[in-house]
Chains A and B, each alone.
Chain A
Amino acid sequence: MSRIAAFLVAAIETVLLGGIFLLYPRIARKGLLFGVYVGEERAAGDDAKALTRRWYRGMAALLLAGLAASAFLAAASPEPAAALVPPPLLLSLGVLCLYLLAYRQARALAPPGPPPPAVAPLASGPRTPTALASLALALGAACGLAAVAFSAFRYDALPGRVPTHFGPSGAPDAWREKSFFTVMLLPILALALGIGLGGIAWLTAHAKRALRRADEGASLEAQVRFRTAMTRFLSVTSLLVTGMLTAISFGTIRVGLGESEGLGATPMVLGGALVAWALGGTIYLAVRYGQGGSRLERAGPDNPLTDGLADNRHWWLGMFYANRDDPSILVEHRFGLGYTINFGNPKAVALLAGFLAVVFGLVIAAVLTQ
């Protein structure tokens, strides 16, 4: 990779990542300020506006620092590709510090007393379709199982050395001794991600709703539309990830057996589609819907946010929700895009721990076997 290409990629990464973080205050639901429920009136007040301006200034400084780091690393590193990782990491760290500072200041604006009373609709209203999420879950499991079965079935026939890495053209550029890990790691990862990501999409369709009081169903409709769009986005993401990993798993075995010279175009096409989908989808969701459908709501001071999202007692640092009584598994982020888990629900914690243990265990095993 040339130095100019490394700088351009690092700069694009930094700008995209920074741009999404920069957007966060604009897509938050009305009444929330940097992870704190301050009420609809205070969130539109001068103190909140000053805090938001400080966020924009801080983010602009971080973006410039990220671009400068990208240029410096691309120019000075012995290996230009080394410029790709540190800038987004530094930017993320800077955003975390900036957020914690803003959170602490927003806490001072939170109104005293109990949160607005919880509200729930009695009419079933519009529903979030789950067909695509169920399909993603079923196909993810089926593709993963097929990859595992195919690799296990052909294991004995493989020669002593198997391909473990492929170049951009799809041809193998690294080989290692045949072992359980070198052969089975990728199919098992495809299976784990197929079930895990499909499962997250399905759970998103059933995530907790946080409604506004007396808004004639506007927040309910906005929530359902956002949840539907997010479910579709995650379902397609899951399908693309599983498809790509399954194609690589099959291709690896076929190359190892000498039946093929490379992976072919399928993994690259799916990989490219995945990047475009993930990036475009994230920006579209943020701009079109806003977090939790905030851009579709027509909320005023008389329509306070209710339920878990408005209850500061159940949030830690505005990022982690824990309510033992609440049976919800996924709840909306207060600051950001999408959903987080209810750490007060043992089922949710077990699901998260299981998923992370499998995925990180496999990734660490993959690194160790390289």
Chain B
Amino acid sequence: MSDLSIRLESGQGDTVYEQIARQIRSRIVSGDLPPGFPLPPVRTLASDLGVNLNTVARAYRLLEDEGFVRIRDRSGAEVAAPREETSADAGERFREELRSVLARMRQAGMRPEEIRRAAEAEIAALAGARGREGSRG
């Protein structure tokens, strides 16, 4: 139970809604939250965390825009299944984002070999999470 929780840290760089979105996204990517998993209603999560309703709603909308979450109705949201195909526009946009991240990693002093190892580890973890989802299904 404790693994599937959100924890708000004060004094972190990102805002509260970004913290919420980041932690849920991270759980989805790792496979802890499988497709169809019901997320808590906005009011419940806001009450538990003691934050404004709009903060949680904004985090859910961000995750919906990114395709991680499907907002159902007033009862809440659920984890969305990954799409089978991506459009050409989306593919180009992600490549652009990837180039930006890689450039920032390089600029931060990481060598190409380190960047490649980090990327491969993340891709392997992603594939592992997908594999676990498949075996659950």
Contacts and interface: CB of A to CB of B under 8 A. Distances in A.
Contacts of B4: 121-123
B86 interface: no
B48 A114 contact: no
A117 B9 contact: yes
A125 interface: yes
Contact of A327 (B1, B9, B52): B52
B51 A216 contact: no
B59 to A, nearest CB: 12
B35 interface: no
Contacts, number: 80
B8 interface: yes
A209 B49 CA distance: 9
Interface in A178-224: 208-209, 211, 213-217, 220
B134 interface: no
A120 B48 CA distance: 5
A217 B39 CA distance: 17
A120 B45 contact: yes
Given A124-B38, A124-B40, A327-B43, A118 B2 contact: no
Given A124-B40, A216-B1, A118 B50 contact: yes
Nearest to A309: B50
A215 B10 CA distance: 21
Nearest to A214: B2
Interface in A276-300: none
Given A117-B10, A118-B8, A213-B7, A325 B2 contact: no
A14 interface: no
B52 A114 contact: no
Given A122-B4, A220-B1, A327-B43, A208 B48 contact: yes
Contacts of B11: 114
B22 to A, nearest CB: 13
B49 A307 contact: yes
Contacts of A214: 2
B7 A118 contact: yes
B36 to A, nearest CB: 13
B33 interface: yes
A308 interface: yes
Given A117-B10, A122-B39, A124-B38, A323 B50 contact: yes
Interface size class of B (residues with CB under 8 A): 20 to 34
A220 B38 CA distance: 18
Contacts of A311: 50
B41 to A, nearest CB: 9
A327 B47 contact: yes
A215 B2 contact: yes
Nearest to A215: B2
B136 to A, nearest CB: 15
B135 interface: no
A220 B1 CA distance: 9
B118 to A, nearest CB: 27
Contacts of A12: none
B7 to A, nearest CB: 5
B24 interface: yes
B53 interface: yes
A209 B7 CA distance: 14
Nearest to B52: A325
A119 B19 CA distance: 12
Interface pairs A-B: 6 shortest CB-CB: A217-B1, A120-B48, A326-B50, A328-B47, A122-B4, A118-B8
8 contacts: A122-B5, A124-B40, A216-B1, A311-B50, A326-B46, A326-B47, A327-B52, A328-B50
Given A326-B51, A328-B50, 9 more contacts: A118-B7, A120-B6, A121-B1, A122-B24, A122-B39, A123-B1, A125-B1, A208-B48, A214-B2
Interface of A: 114, 117-125, 208-209, 211, 213-217, 220, 307-308, 311, 314, 323, 325-328
